[in-house]
Amino acid sequence: MILTVTLNTALDITYRVRALRPHASHRVTEVIERPGGKGLNVARVLAALGHRVTATGFAGGTTGRSLRDQLADTSGVVDALVPVAGATRRTIAVVDQTTGDTTQLNEPGPVIAPAEWSAFLESYGDLVSSAAAVALCGSLPPGVPVGAYAQLVRTARAAGVPVLLDTSGEPLRRGVAARPDVVKPNADELAELTGSHEPLQATRDARRRGAHTVVASLGAEGLLAVNAEGRWRAVPPSRVRGNPTGAGDSAVAGLLSGLVDLLPWPAHLARAVAVSAATVLAPVAGEFDRRTYEELLERVIVTPHNAAA
């Protein structure tokens, strides 16, 4: 079982409009709702890749009930969310059908009480003991300690369970110091963590801060991975255009899948890039077409970084 942690879950709502214009009224052509937050997107993709997944985090209020009702219909994902008094947030994605661009609006999460955080820690400790790997994903809702991910990393490591961290800002800085097995920042998050805007230098700096493997997401330029075994650049065979929402979460799912399947790093990265690119081509976050993924997987380009362009 792979455990995903989404402390700031969301109900993702996607609106599609013919053309998005400021200061104008729009007729919505399609509305799609999905359980969201980074870790739930990861869980959905992992399940589609054939893994057993348990999803934990927080859910509350009317929005939280709707999220859990929809999560119950997600094959392969077990709901282990901890109930809270506050209302789960919503995220709104508006897709411009003319340009393919997406505008994102993110609500703040509910305030988590100390007793709710303690209840989560108890549940998390029980779940980790039977996990093959753990993903800690996304922002922290109000009330959760800024060092929360560092604490969760240490718990997983004490249980001998590999852990991947995907967050930003101070929670990332503190979490890296707890020595996670993998961190997956994007270029901006990596620069904020290390102060360096040169990706290779920044990934090396992040490793020195405690991460065993750093996989930097560079958008259209693919993934850059650095660890004790070497460094690699993995890119899709051609530029992929579509809805990038959730593409990073799909990359995390690919990385976790490769981790539990004990793939060598080049194959590991190819899986992450292929499923991420396939997600860009899908209409909503956390979904991908299996045939598209398999076709891309055969064509992903993985090279040692010093041989890459």
Q: Is 249 a catalytic residue?
A: yes
Torsion-angle region of 246 (φ positive above 0: left; ψ -120 to 50: alpha; else: beta): left
Q: Is the dihedral of CA 141, 188, 106, 275 positive or negative?
A: negative
Selecting among 126, 188, 249, 261, the annotated active-site residue is 249
Phi/psi at 129 (5° precision): -60, -20
- SS3 labels along the chain: CEEEEECCCEEEEEEEECCCCCCCCCCEEEEEEEEECHHHHHHHHHHHCCCCEEEEEEEEHHHHHHHHHHHCCCCCEEECCEEECCCCEEEEEEEECCCCCEEEEECCCCCCCHHHHHHHHHHHHHHHCCCCEEEEECCCCCCCCCCHHHHHHHHHHHCCCCEEEECCHHHHHHHHHCCCCEECCEHHHHHHHHCCCCHHHHHHHHHHCCCCEEEEECHHHCEEEEECCEEEEEECCCCCCCCCCCHHHHHHHHHHHHHHCCCCHHHHHHHHHHHHHHHHCCCCCCCCCHHHHHHHHCCCEEEEHHHCC
Q: Which residues are catalytic?
A: 249
